[in-house]
A and B are shown apart, each in its own frame.
Chain A
Amino acid sequence: MSLLIIAILIPFIATALIPLIHNRIGTLHIGWLVLLIPTALFVIFALQIPVISNGDTLIQTINWIPSVGINFVAYLDGLSLIMALLITGMGSLVVLYSIYYLSASDSFPHFYAYLLLFMGAMLGIVLSDNLLVLYIFWELTSISSFLLIAFWYHRKNSRYGAQKSLLITFFGGLGMLAGFLMLHSMTETFSIRETLSVIGQYTDHTLFYPAMFLVLLGAFTKSAQFPFHIWLPDAMEAPTPVSAYLHSATMVKAGLYLVARFTPIFGGTAEWFWTVTLVGLVTLLWGAFCAVRQTDLKALLAYSTISQLGLIMSLFGMGSAAMYFGDGEQGAFYGLAIFAALFHMVNHSTFKGALFMVVGIVDHQVGTRDIRRLGGLMSFLPITFTFAVIGSFSMAGLPFFNGFLSKEMFFTASVNAIGLPVFGDSAWGLLIPAIAWVASVFTFVYCMIIVFRTFFGRPQLKKLDRKPVEPSLGMLISPAILCVLIVGLFFVPNLLGDHLLRPALNGIIPGISGAAPHISAWHGFNTELFMTFGIIIVGTLLFLTFRSWYKIYLLQPPGWTFTALYNSYLKDLKRVSNWITTHYMTGHLPAYFAYIFIFFIATAGGALIFTGALSIDLTADSPISFYEGMLVTAMAIAAVSILFAKSRLTAILLNGVLGFSIAIFFVLFRAPDLALTQLVIETVTTVLFLLCFNFLPEWAKEDSAKRIKIRNAVIAISAGITVTLIGLTVNSGQSFESISGYFENSYELAGGDNIVNAILGDFRAFDTLLESLVLFIAGLGVYTLIRLKLGKGPEKDEHK
């Protein structure tokens, strides 16, 4: 049974069904039906835990386009499983939360259809083994994210945020696709597992590093890494359940997943190590630094998400060193970073999900999430306050919460990285733990801001829309479950470590299980613990003295942001494309014809010359008789004379000369059917021309400027020469055998002696049928045009 493929397809099928069933369920909130899907999927994936933690993997294939190696291959290993559980688990909680969060005026079918579309696409990403299938799901998540950010599409900011996220993630996605195609051109396979086994031979390939950077581009844009992070704060225009689900717990982790998946392919190189680690660290620092200055709680959480994603990214970067050292003690030493990354990925989903839900509750209950208007809510929202404390303190890395454990491991990994031989001088190596520490101080500060600015201090009830009260119980269930996990994981981390994280680590780098430690909260007084002490002391000081050092944020000039860069780029893009379009789409038919012919000359003529195909060989030509020569001369003269014809009657008659001469050629060249047809058609055409001209004005002399005439002449002559050269080249060599011999069996095959007739009426009868259809359509067009009376405004009708 293709369990995995069904699991991917269920959300998609449900997406299609939601609009159909929405009107038939009466007063029942459709969210309850939707909730069944992620919950059921979560159970299905949870049942796979024993299998996967035994070291087995599941693989299921459906052939899609096998001829080009594109198959729907679902692959479940430890890494996929942990992601799938996050997607379905968080999905269930978010759907439950959204039932109480959304207001009755929101369109439920749209919301849940997009949400399920996203869920299916996200499962597709983490379960696909085929790169192209993965890419399709990847872009589908971008599309569903776009739809969800723009869910309240009547708001300008929502539309802006949606467009920004779409443009940036698609930009990266296309780069990633190019990277995948480069990988394919090296390894001849689209399968990740097969690529993994053969990539060793291609590390010297010229495309190896371009492919690596392009894949990273996709990962960095999706996971909002510096400097592509600018879309995530604007994505906060989405409803809060969406922010909690897509923009903190799952979609933005797709980039991390991709980096993890590709670690065994590209990891072990210094370029991968440096790029991933540094981009991650810079994002970590910049995100934390920016988060502190935010006044909107959701914007604060957005920057904090950016920062945390950077943290996990840098851990994957540091852990990639394990690929360099291979299976051994040193490999295990650095592989710890990957284990920490996976651990923090899970922890981040729990505490950030809880915090988003808390902010959603505050926003929902009091009508604002601006910390300048909030304060003193502790006594009004005691339960929500508890959740906020648990989530924030876990994010700050304080003990008794899961964030403490993974943060300590992050410090361990960063301290370990000092000793890496890539640094040469170990002074540089100190940079990694230094950045990590400074960023963590800022993390501590903004975590305190969330708790203290919102829930402590003097209540400013006048500034709030509503009197704050605790929300209904349903809205509290999801954050409560997450908070239980946050605390629970601190006390029994090894349950997670042994059953999920260790298999996931094995999924990334097989055979490095030695790197998976026994997680324990107490290591004695070591460097990491002192780093945490330092953070708490310095962080508290900074939080208390916030007003005195706030001016540091004013140092950044207002126009010097990446968002400003993005906006001006978008504006210029519009301006330039508008300029180009108005300059070449002139509305003049001759200009368009000129483009077509110039393009033809450039491509066909250019190809002829630059590929060296041009060859002229007259030896195979049949002899020229006197009459034929005369006829050719007559035609050439008639043709050229048309250009100089003073009256249109002359021109028509000269055209007739051409047509009838061709009929004679058809006779000479043994084509009696053609000659007959040509004679009839040419007669009718000439009559038709004459008839029509009766109604048209006498043709005026060409009044174009001389410059235009010369331009037209140059184009015409060049095109004529191109056609001649192509004709001569084709004529002088037989690249492959003629297929015409087949038709000489026309009597046996079609029962006809006349081969031309047999081709038209039998071999290519369908073609002929369509040809008569063309005739019919043209006739219909002629008839309609003649009967058509165009109204010239309402006046004309009045006279009727």
Chain B
Amino acid sequence: MESLIIILVGVLTTVAIYLVLSKNVVRVILGTAILSHAVHLLILSMGGLKLGTVPLLGEEAGSYVDALPQALILTAIVISFAVTAFILVLAYRAYQELETDNLGAMRGSDDE
């Protein structure tokens, strides 16, 4: 299972990076969102999958799955959301001001 998830992570990363390399702002933002999905899955699979029960002590089980990656991912989800929201609004405002969503056209003049 872990290897399969890691291969999926690879596929998601490929898609994400291809999008990020695009000239279109929206594609870049979408790419970053997918990249964070990939990273979350990667972190989770690093702790080993399905090796125990839910990490709640009340379950009285012999072993629990690794709780540390989960805590890290929880933080990561929230932060990636914040970043996505910010750059979305940035793209929206940039379009309003510059009337383009093409990164090539957004370049400042040479003497900046």
B85 touches A688 (CB 8 A): yes
A723 proximal to B (CB < 8 A): yes
| A588/B50 in contact, CB under 8 A | no
Determine which of B7, B64, B77, B91 lies in contact with A724 in the assembled complex, contact meaning CB atoms within 8 Å: B7
Q: Is A782 an interface residue (CB 8 A)?
A: yes
Interface string of A610-631 (1 = CB under 8 A from B): 0000001010111110001100
Q: Is A746 an interface residue (CB 8 A)?
A: yes
**Which chain A residues lie closer than 8 Å to B44 at the CB level?**
665-666, 669, 671, 674
The answer to whether B70 touches A756, judged by C-beta atoms less than 8 angstroms apart, is yes
Residues of chain B within 8 A of A621, CB atoms compared: 1-4
Distance of B105 from chain A, by nearest CB (Å)? 11
> Interface digits, B72-107 against A, CB 8 Å rule (1 contact, 0 not)?
011101110111111011111101110001011001
- Interchain CA distance A771-B80 in the complex, whole Å: 11
User: Which of A91-99, A434-442, A503-511, A784-792 is the interface stretch?
Assistant: A784-792
Contacts of A554 in B (CB 8 A): none
Residue interface mask B45-66, A partner, CB < 8 A = 1: 1111111111111100000111
- Which of A184-192, A299-307, A555-563, A636-644 contacts the other chain? A636-644
Provide the bound-state CA to CA distance between A712 and B19, in Å.
9
A524 lies within 8 A of chain B by Cβ: no
What CA separation (Å) do A771 and B49 show in the bound complex? 26
Residues of B close to A781: CB separation below 8 A? 86, 89-90
Q: Is the Cβ of A727 less than 8 Å from the Cβ of B11?
A: no
**B10 with A702: CB separation less than 8 A:** no
Closest beta carbon of chain B to A761's beta carbon, Å: 10
B22 touches A743 (CB 8 A): no
Instruction: Evaluate contact between A696 and B91: CB separation under 8 angstroms.
Output: yes
In whole angstroms, how far apart are the Cα atoms of A684 and B101 in the complex?
23
Judge whether A643 and B73 touch: CB under 8 Å. Answer: no
Residue of B with least CB distance to A659: B37
- Whether A775 and B90, one on each chain, are in contact in the complex, defined by CB atoms closer than 8 angstroms, is no
Determine if B33 and A642 form an interchain contact, defined as CB atoms under 8 angstroms apart: no
A402 to chain B minimum Cβ distance, whole angstroms, is: 62
Query: Which of A129-137, A223-231, A713-721 faces chain B?
Result: A713-721
Q: Is A386 interfacial (CB-CB < 8 Å)?
A: no
Interface membership of A678, Cβ < 8 A: yes
Of residues A587, A728, A740, which shows the largest number of chain B Cβ atoms within 10 Å of its Cβ? A740
Complex-state Cα separation, A47 to B98, whole angstroms: 75
> Does any Cβ of B come within 8 Å of A481's Cβ?
no
B19, B38, B56, B83: the one contacting A753 at CB < 8 Å is B56
CA distance A715 to B19 in the complex (A): 11
A754: interface (CB < 8 Å): yes
B10's partner among A671, A704, A721 (CB-CB below 8 A) is: A721
A677 pairs with B89, CB closer than 8 A: no
A: contact size bracket: 35 or more
Chain A, residues 99-136, CB within 8 Å of chain B (1/0): the string is 00000000000000000000000000000000000000
Residue of B nearest to A637 (CB): B11
A608 CB to nearest B CB, Å: 13
Chain B 1-43 per-residue mask, 1 if CB under 8 angstroms from chain A, else 0: 1111111111111110111111111111010011001101110
Q: CA A12 – CA B87 in complex, angstroms?
A: 49
* Interface status of A768 (Cβ within 8 A of chain B): yes
Identify which of A622, A628, A670, A677 contacts B55 (C-beta below 8 A): A670
Residues of chain B within 8 A of A727, CB atoms compared: 6, 9-10, 42, 45-46
The B-contacting residues of A in range 688-744, CB under 8 angstroms, are 688-689, 692-693, 695-697, 699-700, 702-704, 712-713, 715-717, 719-721, 723-724, 727-728, 730-731, 738-740, 743-744
Closest residue of chain B to A790 (Cβ to Cβ) is B97
CB of A687, distance to nearest CB on chain B (Å): 11
Residue of A620, A720, A744 near B13 (CB, 8 A) is A720
- In the assembled complex, A465 has its CB within 8 A of some CB on chain B: no
Nearest CB of chain B from residue A16's CB, rounded to whole Å: 39
A662 to B107, CA, bound (A): 36
Flag if A788 contacts B93 (CB, 8 Å).
Answer: yes
Q: Is the CB of A636 within 8 A of B11?
A: yes
Residue of A nearest to B46 (CB): A730
Indicate if the CB atoms of A785 and B90 lie closer than 8 Å: yes
Say whether, besides A622-B51, A639-B34, A704-B23, A684 and B81 are in contact (CB < 8 Å). yes
A632 interfacial by beta-carbon distance below 8 Å: yes
Q: Which of B17, B33, B73, B91 contacts A692 (CB 8 A)?
A: B91
**Residue-wise interface mask of A (590-612) relative to B, using a CB-CB cutoff of 8 A (1 in contact, 0 not):** 10011001000000000000000
Contacts of B15 in A (CB 8 A): 639-640, 642-643, 716
B4 and A715 form a contact (CB under 8 A): no
For the complex, give the distance between the alpha carbons of A774 and B88 in Å: 16
Report the minimal beta-carbon distance from A754 to chain B, rounded to whole angstroms: 5
A635 and B14 CA atoms in complex are apart in Å by 13
Q: Does A655 lie at the interface of the complex (its beta carbon under 8 Å from any beta carbon of B)?
A: yes
Q: Given A593-B21, A597-B17, A621-B2, A756–B74 Cβ distance below 8 Å? A: yes
User: Which residue in A632, A643, A739, A756 is a CB contact (below 8 Å) of B19?
Assistant: A643
Q: Is A194 an interface residue (CB 8 A)?
A: no
Encode contact with B along A313-326: 1 for CB under 8 Å, 0 otherwise.
00000000000000
Q: Are B55's CB and A756's CB within 8 A?
A: yes
CB contacts (< 8 Å) of B13 on chain A: these are 716, 719-720, 723-724
Within the complex, what minimum Cβ distance (angstroms) separates A430 from chain B? Answer: 65
- For the complex, is A572 an interface residue (Cβ under 8 Å from B)? no
Q: Given A589-B28, A639-B11, A782-B89: A755 and B5 within 8 A (CB)?
A: no
* Partner among B26, B64, B97 whose Cβ is within 8 Å of the Cβ of A696: B26
Could you tell me which residues of chain A, from 641 to 664, have a CB within 8 Å of some CB in chain B? 642-643, 648, 651-652, 655, 658-659, 662
Q: Which of A648, A674, A703, A715 interacts with B73 by CB under 8 Å?
A: A674
> CB-CB < 8 A to A271: which residues of B?
none
Complex CA gap A651/B30 in Å reads 8
Contacting A702 at CB < 8 Å: which of B8, B22, B56? B22
Contact check, A623 vs B1: say whether CB atoms are below 8 A apart: yes
Q: Are B41 and A670 in contact, with the CB atoms below 8 A?
A: no
Selected from B8, B20, B23, B68, the residue in CB contact (under 8 A) with A636 is B8
Establish whether residues A692 and B11, one from each chain, have CB atoms under 8 Å apart when the complex forms: no
Please tell me if the beta carbons of B47 and A740 are within 8 angstroms of each other in the complex. yes
Is A778 located at the chain interface by the 8 A CB criterion? yes
| 5 nearest CB pairs, A to B | A720-B14, A724-B10, A778-B82, A755-B67, A727-B6
12 interchain pairs (CB within 8 A)?
A: A620-B2, A655-B33, A669-B44, A685-B81, A700-B24, A712-B18, A715-B17, A723-B42, A724-B9, A744-B64, A760-B71, A781-B90
Q: A642-B34, A753-B56 are in contact. List 8 more A-B contacts (CB 8 A).
A: A597-B21, A639-B11, A670-B54, A670-B64, A692-B89, A696-B25, A697-B101, A759-B68
